[in-house]
Amino acid sequence: MKIGQLSKVSGCSIQTIRYYEKEGLLNRPSRSEGNFRLYDEKSLKELEFVKHCRNLDIPLLDIKTLIDLKHRPEESCSSINDLIAKQLDLVNQRIKELNALKSELQIMKKACSSDSTVERCGIMKTLEV
């Protein structure tokens, strides 16, 4: 299949697919007579692996590490473990931060008597200092 088709079945944009290839996350596909990329089922699997990792917010560099590891199946998987643990820490950290944000934004929202003026806006006041 050509790139447009792969884009459709994978849900990744055409540019993103080409970008992943450039970044070394996907194997170079074969090319047609006229230099069009030609993909098969294996390519789709590869792309889905990347996509799944991205859904977990794993950075491209880390995904590259995972792909490299897949090619060394004998190796200890502790680095995979570390990578996931790191990701989990990040996510937990970010959730904490966002919950703090949420509280403050909620307070701000309440502070605004909606059809007041900027001058007397409760929100604007909470932003000062």
The binding site for DNA (CB under 7 A) comprises 2-5, 7, 13-16, 18-19, 32-37, 54, 59-61
The least distance separating DNA from the CB of residue 82, rounded to whole angstroms, comes to 17
- The residue length of the chain stands at 129
**Which of DNA, a copy of itself, none does residue 121 bind to, with CB < 5 to 8 Å depending on kind?**
a copy of itself
**Are 39 and 48 in contact, with CB atoms under 8 Å apart?**
no
Provide the 8-state DSSP code for 116: S
User: Does 91 interact with a copy of itself (rule: CB under 8 A)?
Assistant: yes
With CB cut-offs between 5 and 8 Å by kind, which of DNA, a copy of itself, none does residue 40 bind? none
Q: CB of 14: closest distance to a copy of itself in angstroms? A: 23
